[in-house]
Amino acid sequence: MSQKGHKFQVLLSIKRDDGNALVFYKQDGQRFENDITIKMKVQTPYKLLLTVRPPQKIKLASMKGEELEMTSEEVNSETTKYAFEWNSNNIPVTKKNRRLSFNLILEIQNMGVLELPLQMKFYNAADTHHSAWGKSLNHIEFNCMHKTGNSLVEIFSTVYR
């Protein structure tokens, strides 16, 4: 018997915070845990922009065990928008044929925890070649469902755009 739940969508945009430079991603096929890799740079500040529809209150966001500082919040009748800062200072350059898995963990009021899985490869901060191969990342759409009584929110589809 299927259990009904509350559906909502989270859009995640990642921008370099040094002039809002683009972040890129590429299709990796079945070689790694996820089939898409986001290309990042070490020693670089990033801005994570979240849009949640319909509106939900995010109480806490963390990545790699660090709580993220919320820099803005905007609420209207259709969406809630949040901006968070994250810095890749303590991340080493990723070796060839390797990927790092990160979860962006969101604690959503009156629902529970949502873990957004991200697969990344980190390049030298000065790299302008390999880090820009692939498609520019506009946002990632996570279509989610919270079932009453559960403390974890499920992701039922993910689309990179």
- DSSP per-residue string spanning 118-160: EEEEEE-TT--SGGG-SEE---EEEEEEEETT-SBPEEEEEEE
Class of residue 61 by CB neighbours under 10 A (exposed 0-12, middle 13-18, buried 19+) = buried
In the chain the beta strands, taken as DSSP E runs, fall at: 5-16, 24-27, 36-41, 45-53, 58-63, 66-67, 69-75, 80-87, 100-108, 112-123, 135-136, 140-147, 154-160
Hey, what CATH topology would domain 5-160 get? Immunoglobulin-like (2.60.40)
Per-residue pLDDT of the chain (161 residues; tens, 9 = 90+): 345 789 999 999 999 998 768 999 999 988 898 999 999 999 999 999 999 999 999 999 999 999 999 999 999 999 999 999 999 999 999 999 999 999 999 999 999 999 999 999 999 999 989 999 999 999 999 999 999 899 999 999 999 99
Task: Tally Cβ neighbours within 10 Å of residue 126.
Answer: 9
Tokens of 49: 């922009």
Cα gap 94→48, rounded to integer Å:
21
Q: What is the pLDDT of residue 24?
A: 97
pLDDT in tens, 60-100: 999 999 999 999 999 999 999 999 999 999 999 999 999 99
pLDDT at site 3: 56
* Other C-beta atoms lying within 10 Å of the C-beta of residue 11: 18
